[in-house]
Amino acid sequence: MKIIDVIASPGLTGFYFDDQLAIKSGVEHDGFTYLGEPKTPGFKAVRQRGESISVMLILEDGQVASGDCAAVQYSGAGGRDPLFLAEDFIPIILGEIAPKLVGQELDSFRKLVELVENSQRENGERYHTAIRYGVSQAILDGVAKAQRKTMTEVILEEYELPMVLEPVPIFTQTGDDRYENADKAIIKRAGVLPHALINNVETKLGKDGELLLDYVNWLRNRIMTLGGDDYRPILHIDVYGTIGLAFEDNVERMVEYFIQLEKAADPLHLRIEGPMDAGSLEGQIEQLKALRVALKARGVKVEIVADEWCNTYEDIVKFVDAQAADMVQIKTPDLGGIQNTIEAVIYAKKYGVGAYVGGSCNETDSGGRTAVHVSLAARPDQMLAKPGMGVDEGYMIVHNEMNRTLAVLKRVRETRSRRVN
């Protein structure tokens, strides 16, 4: 089955592009948007609509395989590629990517994605991570359609992974509506929650961490009250480096604060993502590792999750090799081709580091569904409900795709077993 054409269309994402640098500097909320001037190159406002590009592969038999190019909410921050706008990149996809794919046989996902992943433009630069991300989704979908299999099966076979017929825990994020949306996640019995978007010291963390501590206390009590005796999710909170800012990157002070957080969360297990932002890859690895070692020395079981400066497959390898974090977020759009996410999960698990197939609220339904197939095959510790910040929509997309796929895979296994017998 060959690709006979490539077409593209502009789209919207499930959230917005936010200028993280401006938000951290303390710009004010104005309804759903922000006041003040943007600080990150490419932004025309602190918050602007998220954009995507749907890439569609036309197959010989008339089938259409698709994937969505999308970038993360905080584009241009923490070493990431710049803002991704549809009008800027559709001409590149049609003019430079399409000729590489038209006429290709859809016989190997891993072979085809390399045609784009490692290509360079005339100026010597690689294609934007969002392009590589969306095109790889379309290729995976195309190979699955050509072989009449699920995307999960394609990954299992090409990476020689075992089929496991169990769901992967889903991590829901509340956005700024961290109380009402936490209720939604609890009612839906999400495996991991709430993210909570703690991205400002004064208004969300507290200058001594008191606001987050109060929130963890509330969250723990709310889960016990609303969730019942048989519901014990993992608490995972992203603090965007604000703990480091509040405690001046002093490891001893941060450890004492983590002890307070652990007591507030008990008996629930707690993960803290991005406790500090050192401003560079090397600095982040060094500081995260120092904090992790100090926490273990004090017997604190709160886990540290790496996010900022842990953007590419190569970055993830460095964090894992240094044992700098208990878990790495594998932020799918930042890694480019989806094959890098697969390989990052495999690598982290091999060396005993937790793997979290993340991504962004600023993706699309296509990215969410593809991440399900990656997760069911590669088996990370958790995956993100995406896109959006409303809990319901993203959780529905990911949860339903996971259950549909598990039902199909179960039937595949039963059919094979009957044939053997």
Alpha carbon distance 133, 50 (integer Å): 16
Q: Which residues are annotated as a binding site?
A: 173, 238, 273, 307, 329
Distances from the Cα of 315 to the Cα of 87, 225, 358, angstroms = 30, 41, 15
Amino acid at 291: L
Q: Which of 145, 184, 204, 331 is catalytic?
A: 331
Q: Which alpha helices (H) appear in 298-391, and where do they start and end? A: 313-321, 338-350, 365-378
Residue 319 main-chain phi, psi, to 5 deg: -65, -40
The pairing of beta strand 354-357 with beta strand 382-384: parallel
CA gyration radius, the chain? 21
Amino acid at 164: V
Active site residue 296: no
Alpha carbon distance 128, 160 (integer Å): 29
Residues 6 or more apart whose CB falls under 8 angstroms from that of 126 comprise 118, 119, 120, 132, 336
Give the chain's end-to-end CA distance (angstroms, integer).
Answer: 32
Q: Is the dihedral of CA 125, 128, 134, 136 positive or negative?
A: positive
Find out whether 358 and 329 touch, Cβ atoms under 8 Å.
yes
Give the chain's count of helices (H) and strands (E).
Answer: 15, 13
Could you tell me the two tokens for 345? 């999960």
Find out whether 93 and 131 touch, Cβ atoms under 8 Å.
yes
Read out DSSP for 58-101? EETTS-EEEEEE---TTTTSTT------HHHHHHHIIIIIHHHH
Find out whether 70 and 133 touch, Cβ atoms under 8 Å.
yes
Find out whether 15 and 361 touch, Cβ atoms under 8 Å.
yes
Amino acid at 334: D
Find out whether 378 and 345 touch, Cβ atoms under 8 Å.
yes
The pairing of beta strand 29-30 with beta strand 33-34: antiparallel
Q: Which residues are annotated as a binding site for (2S,3S)-3-methyl-L-aspartate?
A: 173, 329
Residues with active-site annotation:
331
